[in-house]
Structure formats: C-alpha cells, structure tokens
Chain A
Amino acid sequence: MIEITNLHAEIDGKEILKGLNLTMNKGEVHAIMGPNGAGKSTLSYIIAGHDDYEVTQGDILFNGESILEMSADERAAAGVFLAFQYPVEIPGVQMTQFLKTSLNAIRKARGDAEMPTLDFIKFLRKKTAELNIKDDMLKRPVNVGFSGGEKKRNEVLQMAMLEPKLCVLDETDSGLDIDALKIVADGVNALRSDERSFLVITHYQRLLDYIVPDFVHILADGQIIKSGDAQLAKDLEEQGYNDFISEAA
C-alpha cells in the first residue's frame, strides 16, 4: 500500500524528517507515537502533499508508484486522505456545497460521473446519521464555529464519503472529550476494511484503546526508532518517551 524509504524532508531550510522508513500493507492499522517536535505532523503533511515541505531525499511509493511529484488533489484522487489535526475554517463556503464539490472532483479524477444531486443528498444523510452530525452543521460554512468534536467528526464524515485507500489521522484525539472521542473512533472503526489502511498519529495512548492498531512505531527526531505491536503503546505510556529515546540512542 505505502512504502516510505529513507525520507528526508525540511521546511524553511530546517530538516525535520531524517531518514524515515515505514511500510504498510493493505488493511493494516499503524500508529505513530512520538514526543512533540518529533516530526509526526510533518510526516502527515508530506504524505498529503503540502507545498511548504520539501523532500530532499528518499521516496514515498503508493501502490508501487512514487507520489512525490503529485499535487495534493491528485493524491486525494489516488486515495490518500489526511484527517487534519486542526481542520481549517473556510468562511463563505457552505459545508454541503464543499462536500459535493469534493466528492465530484474525486469522482471525476477517478473517471466516474458526477453524483446526481438527489443521490448525493441521500448518501450524505446516511453518513451524517452514522456520525451523529446534525443538519444544522451542514448549513454552516466549513468548520466555522464548529466545536472541537464537530470539527473531528466532520473530518471522519469526509473520510467516509471519499472512500480513500489510505487514511492518515493526525492527532485526531486532540481537543476531544471522551464521548466525542468514542464517536470519532466508532466512525473510524466502521471504515476499517481489508482494502483500507490507517496511519494513526497520536501523542497519547488513549486513542489506541479505541482504534486498536496492528503495529505501533515510535518517532523521535525525524526517524522511527522502535516498532512493535499494540503492547508497545502501553509500555510507552507507562515509561514515558525519554526512556525509549535514550534506549534507542
């Protein structure tokens, strides 16, 4: 599914990723944990195709093809989805219109016809009901005035609608209380399938009680320094990052 090899990347001349390697297969859920400043969000932005980051070495293969030269919209059409840590507020762009434009842009890029409006409304209603999203939220501008929980549910809604192959969740648990976290995690779990992989980036182990990963990696100073199964996250929570980092060094 995705194969990241020796990835070096920088922003404004500052190197953030320093030779990161990660391979994920179809249907797997990988978690990346790490202290602040390790490069977790940078990794998610680079996979999604943010222009501000420059890849100086290495490659990212998605289904066998390098995606480094692809723009963010091309990657989205290919099946990459980033659930933002801080979903961006877009005043003046209404939610429903945004979702429709997004869905149809992706369908178009994948060679499918636009979804007729009535079908779209039905499709949207089904997905919003599953995520406990109220109609009122769909009438507002994208993320404007949304609570933390609403923003994250909105990310999961988009994920459910666009049917990506790789979902990158960047600190989806940040800013959520336990009830909101459960709703979001249930939404994500409902999307788990043999055809879809998840990269769950988080600072805390808590999220991984709800979205149980197959593999856990520890990212520190731009590299993955240790990998293991779900138990690794629990050990990390008990011991703290410092022990692991000094152990690996």
Chain B
Amino acid sequence: MTALPTPKSERWKYSNLQTYVSDKYTEQPLSVGYDGDDKFINESDTQLESWATDVYGDMQVWDDLQDVLSVHIPEDMHVDKPVYLSLEALENSKSTGHINIHLEKGASLCVYEDITCNGWMNRSITITLDEGANLTHIRTGSGDGIATNLTQIKQASKSKYSAYAMNTYCEFMRDQIHVTLDGADASCYLSGAKILNDKQHCDTCILIEHRAPNCYSNQNYRNILNGQSRGIFQGKVHVHKIAQQTDGYQLCNSVLLSDKCEMDTKPELEIYADDVKCSHGAVTAQPDSEPLFYLMARGIPKKQAQAILLQAFVAESLEAFEDNEEIYEQLSQKIEHTLNA
C-alpha cells in the first residue's frame, strides 16, 4: 500500500487525511446493496475498466480493491426505474470498493447512490458513457465517518452526465471527480451542495478534461458552513488544444454562518485551444441582510425568513434538475430537512 497523501501535494494542500485516520480501522469489504433491475447488475464481474487509472495516483483506491459491482446498460435501452446503490462502511472499518457503470450507445439511466459511512469508506466509481448515452447520478449520505471518493467519468460524443452530490455528512470527506470529455458534443453537469456544521471537513476536487471539440461542462455548487467546519472547492477545467468551441462554466458560492468556519475556493482554468468560452465565479460571504429585511418587512419572522433564504440559496445548485420534478423535489426536501436539523 502506498503512503497516504499529505498536504505537501498541491491537490491535497487543504486536507490532511492523516490526522483523521488511525490504526483502529480494520479492512473490511465495502457493503454494497442495490435495488434495480437484476439483469443490468452484476456482482461477480471483477473486470475493471481498462481506461480507469487513479489519474493523480493519490486516491489509493486501487490498493486492496475488494469488491466490484457492475451496472451495464445495453445499447438504446432506456431504463425507467432508477438503480439504487447503498454503500456502507461500519464503525472502525476501512471499506474499499469499486463500482463500474457502463451505458452503451444511446442508453439512459438514473443512479441514486446512498452512502452510510461511520468508518472509513474508500469508494471508487468509473462511469463509461458511449455515444449519446445519458446518465443522471445523485448521491446523498449519512454518518460521521471518513469518506474518500473517487469518481471517474469518460464520455463519448453526444453523451450527457448530470450529477448532484449532497455533502451533509461525514467528519471528513474528500470528493475527487475526474471527467474526460472524449467525444464531440458531450456535456457534463457537476453540481452539489455542502451543508456543514461542527468540525466537518469537506474537500471537493474536480478535474474536467475537454479532449474533443464542442463539448459543454458546467460546475455549479452552493455551500453553507456553520460551526468550525471547513469547506474546500478545487475545480479545474483543462481544455486541450483539439477542444475548440468548448463551453466551460463554473460557479461556487458559499455562505458562512459563523466566525470560525472556513471556505477555500480554488478555480483553475488551463486552456490550450483558442476558440473557447470559459468562465468561473466564486462568492463567499455572510448572509445578506437586505433580503432578510425585505422578508421581515412582509411579516415573515426572522428565523423563518433566514431558512427561506438559505433554502433558496442552496436550491440554486439544483438548476440542472429543474425539469426533473422527482429529483428536484427529493433533493429540495433533503436540503430543507438538513437546514432545519
């Protein structure tokens, strides 16, 4: 097993994993349950995608790889019923596991991933989207453990990936996402929210590589921090020379509710093509008092007005799901529930 990453490495400079892990963790297989159509899911397939590598060599998921679960959707199959994956790491256990998701040409699927993490979860997902495939990937979770996630997506032409990660749980979370847009006209929406309190630490680290022309990528995140929590957002877009007419957007806004919380936002653009549109934006601030006064002047009590504004703020991260009522409602309720907890 290779050594754990340390803050000496640029991509880990905000997160010191070593201070969270200790000898107490014993290796245990990651428990992966699922609910969905059996014919698409294979528990015995141990084949890893050949293209998948830990791109920076800092996520460790290839060590001690224990479980592989595969979800495979054949050509032009539109799966109406979502696939639910429930992953669990028990207290004091280090559970490593890997999931392959492969959608063939023209296939579509929605995957809900639910994480229960009270130990240390080291989970990896590779997602292969063939031409025109369309995957929606929603992740929520609970527990107060440590999660190190690596999600790698490879997209062929005209494929679409839409993801939402609701990070409200775990004492420490590293969420590393690596997207390769490999075929023309592919699009990728990464979105999510952090709602953190106490001493929670959550580090989202994204790399989107535009390796084909006319692709679209969008990163849209909202964060609310309270207590002594710390949030990190590192979002990098790499536009290769071949990737003309790239559209790349990134927005990460955060609200700080206490004096002791911290948000670090680091956008990075690396552009080698000359005909591209790329933008990034980040605002970290305390709640704005003018909207609050406006709502109160209309009779809405302060606490209720604050909750309405925070809810509205986080809901901006759901933009990509505005046309999908089921997902939108479910995530909205989850946000409301977390904010009122």
Residues on A lying within 8 angstroms of B by beta carbon are 48-52, 71-73, 75-77, 81-82, 84, 87-93, 98, 101-103, 105-106, 109, 141, 158, 162
Contact = CB atoms under 8 A, between A and B. Distances in A.
Interface in B274-288: none
A72 B302 CA distance: 9
Contacts of A105: 298-301, 304
Contacts of A77: 299
B294 A106 contact: no
Give the dominant DSSP class at B's interface: helix
24 contacts: A50-B293, A51-B293, A52-B289, A71-B301, A71-B302, A72-B293, A72-B296, A73-B296, A73-B302, A75-B297, A76-B297, A82-B297, A88-B290, A88-B291, A92-B313, A92-B316, A93-B309, A101-B304, A102-B298, A103-B299, A105-B299, A105-B300, A105-B304, A106-B298
Nearest to B312: A92
B308 A102 contact: no
B305 A73 contact: yes
Contacts of A158: 298
Contacts of B313: 92
Contacts of B315: 92
Contacts of B302: 71, 73
Contacts of A90: 291, 294-295, 309, 312
B308 A109 contact: no
Given A90-B312, A93-B309, A76 B294 contact: no
B308 A101 contact: yes
A25 B304 CA distance: 33
A102 B299 contact: yes
Interface in B40-79: none
Nearest to B311: A92
B223 to A, nearest CB: 15
A105 B295 CA distance: 11
A29 B277 CA distance: 55
Given A92-B313, A105-B304, A76 B298 contact: yes
A102 B296 CA distance: 9
B262 to A, nearest CB: 24
Contacts of B311: 92
A103 B290 CA distance: 20
A73 B316 contact: no
A182 to B, nearest CB: 25
B312 A101 contact: no
A103 B298 CA distance: 8
